[in-house]
Structure 1
Amino acid sequence: MATPTFEEKLEKLETIVSQLEQGDRPLESALSDFQVGIGLVKDLQATLKDAEDTLAKVMDDDGNLTDLELTND
């Protein structure tokens, strides 16, 4: 089985959130879904952090990697 893509994980998280917002699930199922959702959030955050780290490096004219300073505006 292939590892789910970022988009697939995000879609699964959105489904879980939607189901939890409806509030009609048994407590045990809701707690289980919540735990799965937390795991997905952590995976998605790690993927985004990796992407940010990759984008923070750029090649200079000589082909060398240089760090790009990111600002939080």
Structure 2
Amino acid sequence: MVRMLEGYGGQLALVDVAGEHRKVNVGMLADQAVGPGDWVIIHMGFALERTDEQGAAAALAGLRLLGNNSNPAAGADP
């Protein structure tokens, strides 16, 4: 996570995805403290869980096993 965006009730963050910055809703993680430097698993513009660098690498490896060899930064911006 790069930084929280102001004016969205603490629910929108700027996240680095393969070197590209994306806006991600972190509202589903309201019970967890998230901030700059944290790693999150995202799907369709929403942060689903907080993780660490190893957890993120494992999730990406799992996607590759499923045949999703595309760029993780590809996709629509919410």
TM-score class, shorter-chain normalisation, is under 0.3
More strand by share: 2
> Could you say which structure has the higher helix fraction?
1
TM-score, reference length from structure 2: 0.24
TM-score of the aligned structures, taking structure 1 as reference length:
0.25
